[in-house]
């Protein structure tokens, strides 16, 4: 093909719609192709489109991975919360068990008269200076707080299992009926009211309610880890 033919082919190709760069390149190199027998095809069509589907797939994978990590973190948070709640519940149960078992001395004093004996003493007496603090021997509810013949200023506390402790001859009462008291809480002061020959605390323990069976307070306290 002569130079005029080549020029004509290029001009024609430029005006033919739908022809690609590869076609133009082939036309432009026609003379050389006739000599070597090889046509070199160069195509750039669609090169920019290759990243589209790949980028979309990568983006979807990243999104799914982020969702999985978020779900994993959420599960871990919930598991930790459940474990913490279980530990708190166990600690509360242990604290309740300890509180239910804990008894203390009702007064820091010496024993002046024990339970029973020839005069059938129904409690135990503790001698101490007038005004010594009296404590609830165990947690419970105040069921009596006032004057009682013989006992003077008198307090009774209802504990678990229908056990009642009584405190007599007090100089002052610091609690009221219906009040909840904790183990060791101050309920009044030791005194010499009622049928009494000197400042002391008369202390009783009864089973099966306010008018139930009277037991040796020292033996009862010893059975609950409290000794004099």
Instruction: Say if CB 203 and CB 124 are below 8 A apart.
Output: yes
**Cα first-last separation, the chain:** 130
User: Could you tell me how many residues make up the chain?
Assistant: 228
Burial 133-145 (b: 16+ CB within 10 A, else e): ebbbbbbbebbbb
Tokens of 155: 């307090």
Is residue 217 within 8 A of residue 124, CB to CB? The reply is: yes
Beta bridge partners of 144: 156
* 138 counts as catalytic: no
Q: Which of 135, 159, 169, 200 is catalytic?
A: 200
Interatomic CA distance for residues 181 and 104, integer angstroms: 13
Catalytic residue list: 200
């Amino acid at each position: 093909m002569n130079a005029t033919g080549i020029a004509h082919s290029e001009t024609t190709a430029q005006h033919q719609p739908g022809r690609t760069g590869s076609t133009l390149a082939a036309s432009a190199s026609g003379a050389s192709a006739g000599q070597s027998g090889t046509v070199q095809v160069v195509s750039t069509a669609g090169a920019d489109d290759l990243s589209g589907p790949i980028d979309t797939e990568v983006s979807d994978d990243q999104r799914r991975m982020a969702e999985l990590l978020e779900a994993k973190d959420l599960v871990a948070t919930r598991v930790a919360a459940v474990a913490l709640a279980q530990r708190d519940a166990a600690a509360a149960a242990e604290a309740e068990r300890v509180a239910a078992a804990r008894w203390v001395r009702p007064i820091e004093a010496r024993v002046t008269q024990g339970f029973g004996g020839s005069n059938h003493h129904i409690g135990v007496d503790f001698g101490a200076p007038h005004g010594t603090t009296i404590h609830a021997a165990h947690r419970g509810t105040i069921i009596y707080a006032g004057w009682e013949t013989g006992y003077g200023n008198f307090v009774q506390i209802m504990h678990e299992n229908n056990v009642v402790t009584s405190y007599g001859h007090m100089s002052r009462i610091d609690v009221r009926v219906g009040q909840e008291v904790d183990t060791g809480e101050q309920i009044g002061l030791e005194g010499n009211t009622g049928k009494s020959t000197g400042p002391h605390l008369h202390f009783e323990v009864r089973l099966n309610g306010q008018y139930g069976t009277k037991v040796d307070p020292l033996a009862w306290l010893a059975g609950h880890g409290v000794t004099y």
